[in-house]
Amino acid sequence: MQIYLPIAEMSVDLLMLLVMGGAVGFLSGMFGVGGGFLMTPLLIFIGVPPAVAVGTQSNQLVAASVSGVLGHWRRGNVDVRMGVVMLAGSTIGTVIGVWIFDILQSLGQIDLVISLMYVFFLGTIGGLMFVESLRTMLKGRKGGVRRKLHQHNALHGMPWKMRFPKSRLYISALLPFGIGLMGGLLVAIMGIGGGFFLVPAMIYLLGMPASLVAGTSLFQIIFSTAIATFLHATQTHTVDVVLALILLIGSVIGAQFGIRAAGRLRGEQARAILATLVLAVCLKLAYDLVARPLDPFSVAFGVGA
């Protein structure tokens, strides 16, 4: 069944969109990521303009994140205080990001910038996550003693320290604020919840317990993506409501299954799977940037003077 998307100005298969939304929701619940790192490229792959994919994906992420947070909240896996500090940073980052997005759109460079940013961020973070998870699994098989996941570094000497009882941390508030700021920029420009950046940063920079990372990440993603959706709708006009509603239905259902599956995998296994997905999407985007298009020429008809 084909359905017309008014903002994207194209027709797509309804069932395909529902399946895509369900898959992204599953990842959101399972890994604590918004899933935009996968959905935005998928929308681009099926022909949705990158700017519309980014603006609409922000809206879809709100529903997927809410569904995921409810499941984690019932299990007591959300550090609200940490989430609020991160949200303060992500709010500022989102506003700045939409402003940059609007400028790039007016210059006609937003599509290229979105693709390049995906290749860079997905390749870098996916590669680091895959190497780390593989190293951890190999150490576990050899029976070696695992090092503490959280180690102090120069960043922990920063001022404005706060206590986060839920996570059992006493660190500078500037750390979660800065991480949230970066996440907000990614939400606005790339149409992602920022989970693929937030989750590793919360584990390795903040030292949060793995059990609290997914729920806390999704908690602040709810608000940052809602802000991004509002700003994109009012300033860049790239939110396709029809597309967002279809993806929303699939993602809400998929998130609940993802939460159930999360408890069946060890942390390093889950990170390895997520890293593989990130790298696969990165390679596809990189290939599309350099591959010869099927139709390299376009013909336009103009009216003579």
Residues 6+ apart with CB under 8 A from 211: 77
**Is residue 218 situated within a structural domain?**
yes
**Is residue 303 situated within a structural domain?**
no
pLDDT of residue 32: 60
What element of type H or E holds 258?
helix 241-262
Burial class (CB in 10 A: 0-12, 13-18, 19+), 159: exposed
Amino acid at 18: L
pLDDT in tens, the chain (305 residues): 788 888 888 888 888 888 888 887 787 677 666 566 777 888 888 888 888 888 887 766 676 667 667 777 777 878 888 888 888 998 999 899 889 988 988 888 888 888 888 888 778 877 877 787 777 777 766 555 444 445 555 666 677 788 888 878 888 888 889 888 988 888 888 777 666 677 778 877 887 887 788 788 888 888 888 888 888 888 888 888 888 888 878 877 887 777 777 666 665 666 677 778 778 878 887 887 777 666 555 545 555 54
Q: How many CB atoms lie within 10 A of CB 204?
A: 15
The pTM score is 0.69
What element of type H or E holds 11?
strand 10-13
**Is residue 36 situated within a structural domain?**
yes
Please tell me the total count of domains within the chain: 1
Query: How many contiguous H segments (helices) and E segments (strands) does the chain have?
Result: 10, 4
**Is residue 305 situated within a structural domain?**
no
- For residue 238, the SS3 value is coil
Burial class (CB in 10 A: 0-12, 13-18, 19+), 79: buried
Comparing CA positions, the residue from 225, 202, 219 lying closest to residue 271 is 202
**Is residue 296 situated within a structural domain?**
no
Say if residues 194 and 87 touch (Cβ distance below 8 Å).
no
How big, in percent rounded to 5, are the helix, strand and coil portions of the chain? 70, 5, 25
pLDDT of residue 193: 64
pLDDT of residue 96: 92
pLDDT of residue 145: 44
Residues forming a β-bridge with 163: 170
Domain residues for 95?
2-288
**For residues 80 and 4, what is the distance between their CA atoms, to the nearest angstrom?**
40
**Is residue 32 situated within a structural domain?**
yes
**Is residue 89 situated within a structural domain?**
yes
Strand pairing class (10-13; 169-172): unpaired
Q: How many residues does the chain have?
A: 305
**Is residue 298 situated within a structural domain?**
no
**For residues 132 and 246, what is the distance between their CA atoms, to the nearest angstrom?**
36
CA distances from 289 to 39, 116, 117, 273, 284 (A): 18, 8, 12, 25, 9
- For residue 3, the SS3 value is strand
Residues forming a β-bridge with 170: 163
CA distances from 224 to 60, 70, 88, 89, 153 (A): 12, 17, 9, 9, 28
Tokens 């390749």 correspond to 123
| DSSP assignment of 127-178 | HHHHHHHHHHHHHHHHTPPPPPS----GGGG-SSEEEETTTTEEEETHHHHH
**For residues 241 and 224, what is the distance between their CA atoms, to the nearest angstrom?**
18
**For residues 39 and 250, what is the distance between their CA atoms, to the nearest angstrom?**
12
